[in-house]
Amino acid sequence: MTILRKTALNKQQSAKRVPWAGALAASVILLPGILGGNPALAQKAERDTLTYGELIKRTDNGEVAKVELDEAENIAKVYLKGQKPDSPIQVRLLEQNTELINKLKENNVDFAEVSSANSRAAVGLLINLMWILPLVALMLLFLRRSTNASSQAMNFGKSRARFQMEAKTGVKFEDVAGVEEAKEELQEVVTFLKQPERFTAVGARIPKGVLLIGPPGTGKTLLAKAIAGEAGVPFFSISGSEFVEMFVGVGASRVRDLFKKAKENAPCLIFIDEIDAVGRQRGAGIGGGNDEREQTLNQLLTEMDGFEGNTGIIIIAATNRPDVLDAALLRPGRFDRQVMVDAPDLKGRLEILKVHARNKKIDPSVSLDAIARRTPGFTGADLANLLNEAAILTARRRKDAVTILEIDDAVDRVVAGMEGTALVDSKSKRLIAYHEVGHALIGTLLKDHDPVQKVTLIPRGQALGLTWFTPNEEQGLISRSQIKARIAATLGGRAAEEIVFGKPEVTTGAGDDLQKVTNMARQMVTRFGMSDLGPLSLENQQSGEVFLGRDWMNKSEYSEEIASKIDMQVREIISHCYQTAKEILQENRIALERLVDLLSDQETIEGELFRKIVAEHTQVTDEKLAVSH
């Protein structure tokens, strides 16, 4: 009994688990049988029936009013007198029905032949269509997809440039600051487009191309947006990487299509961002270059200044790698002007800060001039990020306006990274304090070094402690004494460790410092001619960035003897600066200990306080670096 119950239960559960797809398939299978079956047979048990003999008798008795003979189904539909006309009686006929037909004629009974073959054919057609229509729909779906794929394949050669009839970038020249020389050059381009008669009247022609050159973040793309916003002419913008595809000839086709559209909308502007992606030197690869990229570049060269030429089209391109561009691309007639967009100076940084401070709540006590002085080398993008980080910190601290505290924290975060957990009092903390004070003390005591801004033991990024130096003025050129002062200050951390703890206790904290001083000393010898080897340039400026095919075979060629002398000179410069740093720290050991105690207690010493303490305990001297090397 238990087995039977389990079996019944399993059947019920399996019936419940029948998926809807299986149920639907079962209903579709049963549908032809339901629709194709004889409706008369399905209703036969529910209605009165007559035998063949009874039909003949009733015909003789005059009880039959009408008969319909269906030879396809071999059935007769009999309508008796006094019966409803919509409910005939069905009678199965014989193969030969001569007697019945004679009786119907003798008794004048209305009879006729009807056929259900047409209705059965219609039902069969409907059933077939139920299977055919989904197949046809599926075929149409595949056909549509293949058509779309073929159309996309045909569109590979179409330009993907974004087109605006009148570019509304929301950027004007007044929104761009810190690059006044570049703005002046580009404002002439806008004047060319708006008032060409002013220049053509004296025989001047519109420049065909302007190449914006500068490091990342200096505002090259922003200047292009400002030109588009000021000119009020059709504007095409595209990236250099969008020309190159995996299919051969696509890049050249896109260049042709771009200039075709531009000629239809002339006068217009074309902006190509990161043109070095497609404009690299031809034949620069070992064993052959990228043929597809070279074909694209050849087409670009032809379109810019080929046999047909183009009138009324100004091309603006941006790159931070002008050294890898093909020489044919840089010649006049293609890019007539090369505009340098360099990192801003002090005045430029101040103007950039004013632009980005428009939509931010800055406390009146904050001096933008002080921020500009503290951020040498910052680009426009860096300054925008700086104020944005300060605003985020202000919101996080639930303040109403950005104060100088948020600005200082934002500068530290942008330059050095996120703030870490402060170190607890330990030997490690005191060792780091000696290391950082060593840097700052040497930099303060050497007159050719930049002044100290802050010394801190608060970790940031990967650094366990930081020493900040800020130059008083912009330095375009650096003297030999300044470089040696920087080397000595950079080695001050290792020197302090050795003086206080001894050589066995020096740590790996100076690893990055040693890389920096080695690089500076080597540049003094091989690039700047600041050694006993004389005024020789023995290495390229970009010796660390080998451009295959061009620089590989053209590396600096000097003998092994000269290489040995270079190593010797580098070693002498570093050794002399290191010895100088050790002597300065030994002579000012009292100031070193006083500053280490204060730094360990407060964790941060500002530049003014640091210099005040140094002045109380020492006398600034710079005679030790006067020895010529």
Selected catalytic residue, list 436, 560, 561, 587: 436
For residue 99, list its beta bridge partners: none
Cα–Cα dist 432/599, whole Å: 10
Is 214 annotated in a binding site? The answer is yes
The count of other CB atoms within 10 Å of the CB of residue 350 is: 19
CB 210 within 8 A of CB 189: yes
CA atoms within 13 A on the CB side of 102: 4
The distance from CA 341 to its chain's CA centroid, rounded to whole angstroms, is: 23
CB 420 within 8 A of CB 412: no
Is 221 annotated in a binding site? The answer is yes
Is 429 annotated in a binding site? The answer is no
Using CA atoms, how far residue 337 sits from 112, 127, 208, 266, in Å, is 101, 76, 9, 20
Cα–Cα dist 316/334, whole Å: 10
Is 400 annotated in a binding site? The answer is no
Is 215 annotated in a binding site? The answer is yes
Cα–Cα dist 84/65, whole Å: 11
Q: How far apart are the first and last CA of the chain?
A: 108
Is 319 annotated in a binding site? The answer is no
Is 435 annotated in a binding site? The answer is yes
Q: Pick left, alpha or beta for residue 461 (phi over 0 → left; psi -120 to 50 → alpha; otherwise beta).
A: left
Concerning whether 54 is annotated as a catalytic residue, the answer is no
CB 67 within 8 A of CB 104: yes
Is 364 annotated in a binding site? The answer is no
For residue 427, list its beta bridge partners: none
Cα–Cα dist 507/517, whole Å: 17
Is 513 annotated in a binding site? The answer is yes
Cα–Cα dist 601/608, whole Å: 17
The count of other CB atoms within 10 Å of the CB of residue 529 is: 14
Token digits of residue 156: 């590979």
Is 283 annotated in a binding site? The answer is no
Is 219 annotated in a binding site? The answer is yes
* CB neighbour list of residue 406: distance below 8 Å, 6 or more residues apart: 390, 391, 393, 394, 397, 399
Instruction: Locate all alpha helices (DSSP H) within 331-479, ordered by sequence.
Output: 346-356, 368-374, 380-396, 404-416, 427-445
Using CA atoms, how far residue 49 sits from 37, 53, 57, 85, 87, in Å, is 19, 12, 14, 16, 11
Spatial CA neighbour of 253 closest among 208, 295, 301, 310: 295
Token digits of residue 83: 């019966």
Binding site listing for Zn(2+) = 435, 439, 513
Question: Which residues form the catalytic set?
Answer: 436
Binding site listing for ATP = 214-221
